[in-house]
Copies of this chain bind each other. A is one copy, B any other.
Amino acid sequence: MDIVDKMFQGDRLALARLLSILENNTPEVPLVMSRIQQNQDNGYYIGFTGAPGSGKSTLVDKMILQIRNNNLEVGVVAIDPTSPFSGGAILGDRIRMQNHALDPGVFIRSLATRGSLGGLSRAAKNTARILNASGKDYCIIETVGVGQVEIDIVDTADTTVVVLMPDTGDSIQAIKAGIMEIADIIVVNKADLKGTDQLIADLMLMLHENQRHSWWQVPVIATQADKNIGIKELFEKIEEHKEVLKDTGMLVAKRKEQRVSEFMEIIEQTLLDVILESQKDDSEFCEIINNVMAGLIDPYSAAKKVFGNENLIKRWMMRLSSEILIERRRVDA
């Protein structure tokens, strides 16, 4: 029996090893992902996003307990705002893990930024897919800030929860503008702070003026995660949104979109990988790069030269067709 089968049978060690395959982006990734494809949509994807300091991690922690109290299982993917350069980890998950370490119904994985954020969000999505495929009822994807990763994550989440807090200063208008478009549910956490009522009133007004869907009115929920206030209401709203998505056929439509966006990502990433690779060892490509570096040719004219070079393109194509090799074989990682 290989580790994918073991994972399907509930083996936590096998699950952890599969997730390491994703993080390290080894050549087994395509194989693993095509093996789990039929099962990745069994669970439900919840996205949590918000600025640093909004108390989002505490909120997620309480949400885990809430889900467990309902006798359901949950996976968590947390994307840590660490250095994109050093790849240094933050260990947020290890601290949180302690609260759930003895609970076999919880699996938390934290991903630190390494290399491109594009690579990170792909690893995060695949991690979420494997967690759901492993039999979790929910997978929570937790991200920080407002940026590309969040946008990518919205593609993956069935319900997106945006966490705000009062008193974030002058740029609240700016933050809100982006939020209106991604939030299915808005949480105002730290709701004992000054400015809570005003923030909620502002949000209600903006939501009233910008209703995205006739079938869903985005709710604003006040929480104090550290005191467990508002958590049950939040979970109920997530459940309500889930039911609406199911009843309207939106969930099926989302799954279709998610599959296409996964496909397009794979196509794009494979192309980029091949080009980066040839930057190391294709002498003709390297010569063009050297000329660009020396300022002998401008980048656009150089690009024109590349795309006009049939032999170079042919070499890329040969690499491309050998890049993705999927067979239904064992994964012995």
CA distance A262 to B299 in the complex (A): 7
Given contacts A52-B171, A270-B303, A292-B259, contact A145 B145 (CB under 8 A): yes
Contact residues of A between 278 and 333, Cβ < 8 Å to B: 279, 289, 292-295, 298-304, 306-308, 313, 317, 320-321, 323-326
CB–CB A169/B88 < 8 A: no
Bound together, the chains give a CA A259 to CA B302 distance in angstroms of: 11
A295 contacts across to B, CB distance below 8 A: 37, 255-256, 259
Q: Residue of B at shortest CB range from A179?
A: B83
Contact in complex: A181, B324 (CB < 8 Å) = no
A230 to chain B, nearest CB (A): 19
The CA of A3 and the CA of B133, in the complex, are separated in Å by: 57
For residues 163 through 216 of chain A, which have their beta carbon under 8 Å from a beta carbon of chain B?
A: 168-171, 173-175, 177-178, 180-182
Bound state CA distance, A152 and B280, in angstroms? 21
Q: Which residue of B lies closest to A306 (CB)?
A: B267
Contact with B along A124-149 (1 / 0, CB 8 A): 00000000000000000000111111
**Chain A at the B interface: mostly helix, strand, loop or mixed?**
helix
Do residues A181 and B294 form an inter-chain contact, with CB atoms below 8 A? no
Residues of B within 8 A of A293 (CB): 256-257, 259-260
Interface size on A, residues (CB 8 A): 80
Q: Knowing A145-B147, A175-B81, A300-B34, say if A289 contacts B263 (CB, 8 Å).
A: yes
| A101 part of interface (Cβ distance < 8 Å) | no
B52 touches A175 (CB 8 A): yes
Q: Is A266 an interface residue (CB 8 A)?
A: yes
- Please determine whether A53 and B171 come into contact, CB atoms closer than 8 angstroms: yes
A80 within 8 A of B: yes
Q: Complex formed: what's the CA distance from A18 to B279 in Å?
A: 32
With both beta carbons as reference points, the residue of chain B lying nearest to A290 in the complex is identified as B260
**A21 contacts the other chain (Cβ, under 8 Å)?**
no
The reply to whether the CB of A272 lies closer than 8 angstroms to some CB of chain B is yes
Q: Is A303 in contact with B289, judged by CB distance below 8 angstroms?
A: no
A98 within 8 A of B: no
A-to-B contact residues, CB < 8 Å: 30-31, 33-34, 37, 51-53, 80-86, 88, 90, 92, 113, 116-118, 144-149, 151, 168-171, 173-175, 177-178, 180-182, 255-257, 259-260, 262-264, 266-268, 270-272, 275, 279, 289, 292-295, 298-304, 306-308, 313, 317, 320-321, 323-326
